[in-house]
Structure 1
Amino acid sequence: MKLLLLAATPAEIVPTVNWLRERASGQRENVLRFPRCEIEILFGGLGVMTTAFALGSAFGGGNPPGLAIQAGVGGAIDRSLSIGQVVNVTSDRLMDLGAEDADGKLLSPAALGFAPAHPFDEAGWLIPPGPSAILPYETVAGGTVNRATGTENSVEEWRRLYPGVQVESMEGAAFFYACMAAAVEALQLRAISNYVERRNRAAWDLPGAIGALNEALQRVLTPFID
């Protein structure tokens, strides 16, 4: 079986990459071999554009993976989630795509008369099939932005437009879109590094979130490589 492990930046998953390398029976460039599978490591960069290109390139070679895993940190809009908590994002959507109205409010593509097209559902969500039910992590709905939210006005705008969104990232919807378009099973794991609020980097816990993310990721990968 072939797996793809994707992160926006190396810093988010380098502990797991090193852990995998120690256990691999062989390596070819960014592909690690194990007795029952091989795992391709891919860094897509920040944002939807670089993520989409990276995945299009990875899936377009005629040998797509059976499972793609995106791992990263994210911000929580839902305050019931805890800093450092690992969540399983099972649906995602684009939040800042559309047009700005005269009063500064965002008009979504649907509000502009452009109905969502496959693989989006009628409400604009991307909901891929995948192994979510077997994982011990809370399932949440994600929202993807090109610019990380940093004002209370923007937070309220997301809550008004997309009340179901619990976690914000800059890549999740692009990952789900590419996987669904290529018929690849998708798993998106994120660790909460901060709350989505007025920008306050002093309140972020990136080391704690990255540590929790890699612990969860290694737990998920262990059955494949043992």
Structure 2
Amino acid sequence: MRILLLAATPSELGPTVAWLRELAVRQEQNVLSFERVEIEVVFGGLGLISTAFLLGRRLPAPPAVQLAIQVGVAGAFDRALALGQVVNVISEQLGDWGAEDPNGKLLPPAALGFPPGFPFGEGGVLRPAGPSAILPYPTVAGLTVHRATGSQTTITRLRESFPDAQVESMEGAAFFYGCMAAGVDALQLRAISNYVTPRDRSAWKLEPAITAVNTALQRVLTPFIS
């Protein structure tokens, strides 16, 4: 079995990569081998475009990937989620896909006469197959944007257009789209580094979030490598 382990940046996955290297039976470049599984570590870069390109190039190529896991941090719209809390993202939507009306309201592709096809579901939602239901982390709905939200105007617009969205990232929808298009099971684990507010970088808790999501990831990977 081969697992593709993906993060936007090396810092988001560093603790787990070090942990895997200590336990691996064999290492060859970015692939760490164990008795029953090979774990391939890749970094997609910041945002939708680089993530989509990486997956579009990698997933159709051999050796075949059976499970892809994306790891990272996220901003939270949902204040019931605590800073540093690990969440299991099970659905994604694109936060600025479509057109804008004169009042700034988002018009999704379906409203323009272009309903999205596979792998999108109703309302433009991406919901991949995968073993996410067995994980001991809260399931949340994700929203993917090209730029991290930082103004009250944008927050209000997103909350009106996507009232069910609980967390925000810059790569999640590209990850789900790529895995669903390629027929690969997908998991997306994130930890809350900040609330989605008018931009205040001093309020972010990035390091605790990275520590938390790596602890959770190692818990998920342990049955595969033990």
Q: Report the TM-score when normalising by structure 1.
A: 0.98
Task: Specify the SS of the correspondent of 2:109.
Answer: coil
1:84-107 deviation digits (Å, cap 9, x = unpaired): 000000001111112222233332
Separation of aligned partners in 2, 1:2 and 1:165 = 31
Q: Are 1:222 and 2:218 counterparts?
A: no
Cα displacement (A) at 1:168: 0.3
1:60-87 deviation digits (Å, cap 9, x = unpaired): 2133211000000000011111100000
Identity of aligned residues (%): 64
Q: Are 1:161 and 2:193 counterparts?
A: no
Separation of aligned partners in 1, 2:180 and 2:156 = 30
Q: Are 1:75 and 2:75 counterparts?
A: yes
Code of the residue aligned with 2:113 in structure 1: it is: G
Cα displacement (A) at 1:28: 1.2
Separation of aligned partners in 1, 2:103 and 2:161 = 15
Task: Specify the SS of the correspondent of 2:5.
Answer: strand
Q: Name the structure 1 match of 2:173.
A: 173
Q: Name the structure 1 match of 2:51.
A: 51
Mapping for residues 1-226 of structure 1, pairs under 5 Å = 1-226=1-226
The question of whether the paired residues in 2 share the 8 Å contact of 1:64 and 1:184 is answered with no
The question of whether the paired residues in 2 share the 8 Å contact of 1:115 and 1:122 is answered with no
Q: Report the TM-score when normalising by structure 2.
A: 0.98
Code of the residue aligned with 2:183 in structure 1: it is: A
Code of the residue aligned with 1:70 in structure 2: it is: Q
Instruction: List alignment gaps of at least 5 residues for structure 1.
Output: none
1:182-211 deviation digits (Å, cap 9, x = unpaired): 000000000000000100111100011001
Task: Specify the SS of the correspondent of 1:18.
Answer: helix
Separation of aligned partners in 1, 2:188 and 2:80 = 20
Code of the residue aligned with 2:74 in structure 1: it is: G
Separation of aligned partners in 1, 2:195 and 2:123 = 25
Task: Specify the SS of the correspondent of 1:80.
Answer: coil
Separation of aligned partners in 2, 1:68 and 1:106 = 31
Separation of aligned partners in 2, 1:58 and 1:45 = 14
Instruction: List alignment gaps of at least 5 residues for structure 2.
Output: none
Cα displacement (A) at 1:156: 1.1
Q: Which moved more, 1:94-103 or 1:143-152?
A: 94-103
Task: Specify the SS of the correspondent of 1:55.
Answer: helix
Separation of aligned partners in 2, 1:62 and 1:181 = 16
Cα displacement (A) at 1:56: 1.3
Separation of aligned partners in 2, 1:138 and 1:33 = 30
**What RMSD, in angstroms, separates the aligned Cα atoms of the two structures?**
0.9
Separation of aligned partners in 2, 1:83 and 1:217 = 17
Separation of aligned partners in 2, 1:41 and 1:15 = 13
Task: Specify the SS of the correspondent of 1:92.
Answer: strand
Deviation >4 Å, runs of 4+: none
The question of whether the paired residues in 2 share the 8 Å contact of 1:7 and 1:44 is answered with yes
Cα displacement (A) at 1:116: 1.8
